Amino acid sequence: MKILVCGGAGFIGSNFIRLMLSKYPDYQIVNLDLLTYAGNLENLKDVENNGNHKFFKGDINDPTLTDALVRGTDMVINFAAETHVDRSIMDSGSFLSTNVIGTQVLLEAAKKYNRRYHHISTDEVFGTLAPADPPFDENTAYNPRSPYSASKAASDHLVRAYFHTYGLPVTISNCSNNYGPYQFPEKLHALFITNLLEGKQVPVYGDGLQRRDWLYVEDHCEAIDAIIHNGRIGETYCVGGDGDRTNLEITNKFLELLNLGEEMIVHVKDRPGHDRRYAINSGKIRSELGWAPKTSFEEGMKKTVEWYKANVDWWKKIKSGEYLKYYEEQYTTR
């Protein structure tokens, strides 16, 4: 099996590549990533000499490049996306370009060569839940409320359209919030842990009572593995981690694990259109594919804190912008 992984130098993509190379030693992975601010080849330092992993720096919006790479592989898995809600509020253009047009370019190449296509999406496409609402599932109507979630909703619809119109063999997964090793330090877990390790306060939006389901990244990668090998073509699978907590609960857990007090919390103005609650019903993937998260909330939080404590050089270089400068100097865009 030869798999094209788009966005494979990012947080989830790099963890997925590591899983594939360890679990399937005969698989070949072609990794396409533009190495923008959140893409980092240091995420794959431990597999850089693996002969079954080949990296290409490039843009999924480049039809010539994507055509060549898709033609030479058996399957496309698209992790490539702009993902940070705050950034989408400040400037939505790159989100539309990567998340919508980039998906369309990949789908065209997959259609041309009839390649299996799996699309990584988010629970944010479903909007927000009231306190008594049931969790999201595969039948929940889309109701995106930020430029980021709207762009991901559009890409999901495109993938389904290519299945229904052209018969392209596709699957989609909508996951809850991921956390774990190699996460770019702008997301809640990575930002808060690294801030606290630097002796800085952590900024909690509003009252901090926004609720999210949290999914340890390695469990998410196992779910994708199950879907690409055994999922039903044309189907969507919701993937959650049984880690429903408020942002304030998450923050207090960090303080507990690092032996710090509440004086490290600073409440800041809430962001515009901030969804109050997400929750995922993973019943379909559990019953059909036998997947379930292996990592409890307590275990995942401890493992994540310990990883960032053990990898200070990695995240300090990211926060300083050192890695991005290096890649800009070392690679030329196709």
7: Cβ contacts below 8 Å, ≥ 6 apart = 13, 32, 33, 39, 60, 78, 79, 80, 81
> What residue type is 269 in one-letter code?
K
- Among candidate residues 116, 117, 112, the one with its CA nearest the CA of residue 155: 117
Query: What amino acid positions are annotated as catalytic residues?
Result: 123-124, 148
Looking at residue 33, its pLDDT comes to 97
- pTM score, two decimals? 0.93
Looking at residue 325, its pLDDT comes to 58
Looking at residue 84, its pLDDT comes to 79
* pLDDT mean by block of 10 residues, the chain; 334 residues: 97 98 98 91 94 97 98 98 86 92 98 98 95 96 95 98 98 97 92 96 94 96 98 98 93 97 94 89 98 96 97 91 55 35
Looking at the structure of the chain, the number of domains it has is 1
Looking at residue 331, its pLDDT comes to 43
Looking at residue 328, its pLDDT comes to 47
| CA separation for the pair 191, 203 (Å, rounded) | 9
CATH of the domain at 149: 3.40.50.720
Looking at residue 102, its pLDDT comes to 97
Looking at residue 206, its pLDDT comes to 94
Asked if 307 contacts 218 with a C-beta cutoff of 8 angstroms, the reply is no
Let me know how many helices (H) and strands (E) the chain has, helices first. Answer: 13, 12
* Residue 230 phi, psi (nearest 5): -130, -5
Supply the range of the domain harboring residue 177.
2-330
Looking at residue 275, its pLDDT comes to 86
